[in-house]
Homo-oligomer: A and B are copies of this chain.
Amino acid sequence: MFEVAELGHTVEKSLYKEKSAQLRTQLLTIQHQLKSCPFSVIIIISGVDGGGKGEVIHKLNEWLDPRHMRTIALGEASDEERERPTFWRYWRTLPAKGTIGVYVGSWYSDPIAQRVYQKVDDNALQTELTQINQLEKLLADDNTLIIKCWLHLKKADQAKRLKSLAKNPATKWRVTDKDRQHLGLYDEFIGVAEQVLTETSKSYAPWLIVEGSDIRYSSLTVGQHVFERIEQHIQQYDATLSTATDLQNSSNNSLIEQYNLLDSLDLSLKLGKSYYKKQLEKYQGKLNELSRHALAANRSSILVFEGWDAAGKGGAIRRLTESMDARHYQVIPIAAPTDEERSHHYLWRFWRHIPRAGQVTIYDRSWYGRVLVERVEGLAKNSHWQRAYSEIVNFEEALLAHGIVIMKFWLHIDKDEQIDRFKRREQISYKQFKITDEDYRNREKWDDYQKAVNEMIARTSTSKSPWLLVESNDKYYARIKIIKAYCERLEKMLDEIN
């Protein structure tokens, strides 16, 4: 697959001068247009050692306006990064809308290096490539433009290049022992690279293979490619805007409409007050102990609370946090996103709060807003919330793979109980502010929400990350069910690692 990049392409110095001046104008102009576009650009520069990655990135920085781009060099992970799922460090560096992020050392670096050095087998590599494809698909679906360039060198050229770098005192420092070691593994490296490029070349994120033996040729080629891709992407985006006919909420015949999980819940379940108190004390004590063990074992938890307005999320959360150490948990209420959050993929704001090792993050409402409120209120397009199901499942799988305990609670009450609670809250001084007109408006769309909840559960309750449906007409019953379930999950996790 690399034959085309072994032909010995070069560019004359004078031609280069002319072309690069022209390209710079083009790039600055398109970069200016990009600033007001609602998408970001990711440029990945990868390839063989000595292929001129550094030089090409340097040229891009020279041609483009450095104030609206950023070069992201991911070397060794920091401890804050190592304590979170692998992809957290990529998420935190993703460029905001209107800007460009150039990655040197991207999500491709580790998988390739580990396979070449045989630290992982083929299956593990496949798994990693699947995750990479999921990430890139999710970004592309959010209109992110992904440009991937692979700088190739023939084996003989690579040796020559490294030798000449090592001879020059000004560039000697750049040739590391690792480079020399790589050189001995050229064939293995090319084999793995072929596999990676094949598996991850998608219509929305194709690889461009560029011959790296002549810097003038490779930087012009990459620069030209970057310009064309951005220009094309802006045109396509403009075109979509004018022909957009997304049929809002038109797919009313969903697969799972026929059955209704929520209706199957027995909302008459309840506990007596004194029994509740005893149970609460028991499980709070237990949770206090278990959460200390989980902390000692560096195992984090993510607890997701969803449910009807006034279903008792806040009260249930408080019964959990009461028995936990305030230094180790964080409750994140999800309301309207900030403008920094709006300028990224909708999952970015949740990645921000992923806990460090041993810590607990409790989301009071969550990424499921995408398939609940955003769906019902028409804030997200049909195609957006529909693909969110698999994006969410993949997201949670990445968390699970890092050993994080995830629990998802749906607190269910019926319509009568809800109105009773609204009325009662309006009577209590410090709860009055909890009831707003919006609550009444949401109530009117009960049936739409019910349908959305059913579909959400059907599509995102997986064996590894199931939804726990909580009968919540009786607060006592609900709280005990939740704290007990969390205790059991922690116990199981601790058993497994001991």
Chain A residues in contact with chain B, CB under 8 A? 24-25, 28-29, 32, 54, 57-58, 60-62, 65-68, 70-71, 73, 78-80, 102, 104, 170, 173, 285, 288-289, 292, 314, 317-318, 321-322, 325-328, 330-333, 338-340, 364, 429-430, 433
Contacts and interface: CB of A to CB of B under 8 A. Distances in A.
A310 to B, nearest CB: 15
Given A25-B430, A32-B433, A78-B79, A67 B314 contact: yes
Given A340-B338, A433-B32, A66 B328 contact: no
Contacts of A62: 318, 321-322
A188 to B, nearest CB: 26
B430 A326 contact: no
B317 A66 contact: yes
The 4 closest A-B pairs by CB, nearest first: A73-B327, A67-B333, A71-B326, A66-B331
A327 B104 contact: yes
Nearest to A26: B430
A364 B330 contact: no
B104 A32 contact: no
Q: Which residue, of A62, A67, A102, A285, has the highest number of chain B Cβ atoms within 10 A? A: A67
Contacts of A325: 54, 58
Which of A58, A173, A318, A430 has the most C-beta atoms of chain B within 10 angstroms of its own C-beta? Answer: A430
Contacts of A29: 429-430
Nearest to A60: B326
A415 B314 CA distance: 61
A41 to B, nearest CB: 16
A73 B328 contact: yes
What is the oligomeric copy number?
2
Contacts of A321: 61-62, 66
B67 A364 contact: yes
Contacts of A433: 32
A302 to B, nearest CB: 16
Nearest to A433: B32
Contact of A28 (B32, B66, B338, B430): B430
A71 B340 contact: no
A156 to B, nearest CB: 28
Given A57-B326, A62-B322, A78-B79, 10 more contacts: A25-B429, A29-B429, A57-B327, A58-B322, A71-B327, A79-B80, A80-B80, A104-B326, A170-B285, A338-B340
Contacts of A60: 326
A173 B292 contact: yes
Contacts of A289: 170
A292 B172 CA distance: 12
A3 B388 CA distance: 62
Contacts of A57: 326-327
A67 to B, nearest CB: 4
A28 to B, nearest CB: 4
A430 B32 CA distance: 9
A24 B317 CA distance: 16
5 contacts: A54-B326, A62-B321, A67-B317, A79-B79, A338-B340
Identify which of A79, A364, A429 gathers the most chain B CB atoms within 10 Å of its CB. Answer: A79
Contacts of A339: 338-340
Contacts of A338: 338-340
Interface centre among A65, A104, A317, A330 (most CB of B within 10 A): A65
> Residue among A61, A66, A104 with the most chain B CB within 10 A?
A66
A331 B80 contact: no
